[in-house]
């Protein structure tokens, strides 16, 4: 990894960081225009207090495929120090979710509760989906469909996360362990088996529900099959993110088809979530 001084110099001179070539445009404003170039490095301690949209510095977008380790660590550096998994608002830093400590009662079934990471393990994230449920797996979802064998690799073994019946997951931010609406500076996700351009995205919303930015995950490029994308804003303005993972959810008859003849489908799973400390809207 580059020395921190070199890293921050690179961040100050570029809005998009990549581990290898990533198709452009990678990030779009809600109006489908590319964001301004030359973004300013984000600070985890800045806050608009109410999350309202106004003129602000362009967000930092970090994206990678292939070996994503450096990009993920760069993103962590932008957000700050990892905070413990405890209730209460921390002054800055970041939270992470990697699914691996989820108990067996919520693994390889559709019982995982969307408020687990605000109640059972307080990290200020509440999940909803227009689908039917969430599923954590340590077996690559082969119990759902044997055709998934070897399809989904992991960044932090052994577990992955998907929604059932939908490709959409909404993440609402709360003060950890409370129902108090909160804001974060940024959010990023590791994805497994992204095969189609611009089918796997993260959309960022402010407290008024206005779309701030959409970023698309780059496609997989190697046998590991992992990708990462995330964005960090210069101020704490993000109240919710919407993750769209591919264009077809897992299912007993649903298969990944990105090449060959016939209708194309991309099934994508999620691994680590990394986001700024959720702090109350004020």
Whether the bond between 158 and the residue before it is cis, its omega within 30 degrees of 0, is: yes
Could you say which residues of the chain have pLDDT below 70? 1-56
Token digits of residue 50 = 């109410």
Q: Write down the pLDDT at residue 100.
A: 97
Q: How far is CA 107 from the centre of its chain?
A: 20
Q: Write down the pLDDT at residue 55.
A: 56
Taking Cα atoms as reference points, which of 151, 162, 158, 6 lies closest to residue 74? Answer: 6
CB 137, CB 102: distance < 8 Å: no
Q: Write down the pLDDT at residue 210.
A: 98
Q: Write down the pLDDT at residue 8.
A: 36
Q: How far is CA 243 from CA 122, 129, 153, in A?
A: 21, 10, 19
pTM recorded for the entire structure: 0.84
Q: pLDDT for 9-52, tens place per residue? A: 333 333 344 344 444 445 666 633 333 322 223 333 344 555 55
Q: pLDDT for 60-80, tens place per residue? A: 999 999 999 999 999 999 999
Q: Write down the pLDDT at residue 29.
A: 61
Taking Cα atoms as reference points, which of 230, 221, 214, 237 lies closest to residue 271? Answer: 230
């Amino acid at each position: 990894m580059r020395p921190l001084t070199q890293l921050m110099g690179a961040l100050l001179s570029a809005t998009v960081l990549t581990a290898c070539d990533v198709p452009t445009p990678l990030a779009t404003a809600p109006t489908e225009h590319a964001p301004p170039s030359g973004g300013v490095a984000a600070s985890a301690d800045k806050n608009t207090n109410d999350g309202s949209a106004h003129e602000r510095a362009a967000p930092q977008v970090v994206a990678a495929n292939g070996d994503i380790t450096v990009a993920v660590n760069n993103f962590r550096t932008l957000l700050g120090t990892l905070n413990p998994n405890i209730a209460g608002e921390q002054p800055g830093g970041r939270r992470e979710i990697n699914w691996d400590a989820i108990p067996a009662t919520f693994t390889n079934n559709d019982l995982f509760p969307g408020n687990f990471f605000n109640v059972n393990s307080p990290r200020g994230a509440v999940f909803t989906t227009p689908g039917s449920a969430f599923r954590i797996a340590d077996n690559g979802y082969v119990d759902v469909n044997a055709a998934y064998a070897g399809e989904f690799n992991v960044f932090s073994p052994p577990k992955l996360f998907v929604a059932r019946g939908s490709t959409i997951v909404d993440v609402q931010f709360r003060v950890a362990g409370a129902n108090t609406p909160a804001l974060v500076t940024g959010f990023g996700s590791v994805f497994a088996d992204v095969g189609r351009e611009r089918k796997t995205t993260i959309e960022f919303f402010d407290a008024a529900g206005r779309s701030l930015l959409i970023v698309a995950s780059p496609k997989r490029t190697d046998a590991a099959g992992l990708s990462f994308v995330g964005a960090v804003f210069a101020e704490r303005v993000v109240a919710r993110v919407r993750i769209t993972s591919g264009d077809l959810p897992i299912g007993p008859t649903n298969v990944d088809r990105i090449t060959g003849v016939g209708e194309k489908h991309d099934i994508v799973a999620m691994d680590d979530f990394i986001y700024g400390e959720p702090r109350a809207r004020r």
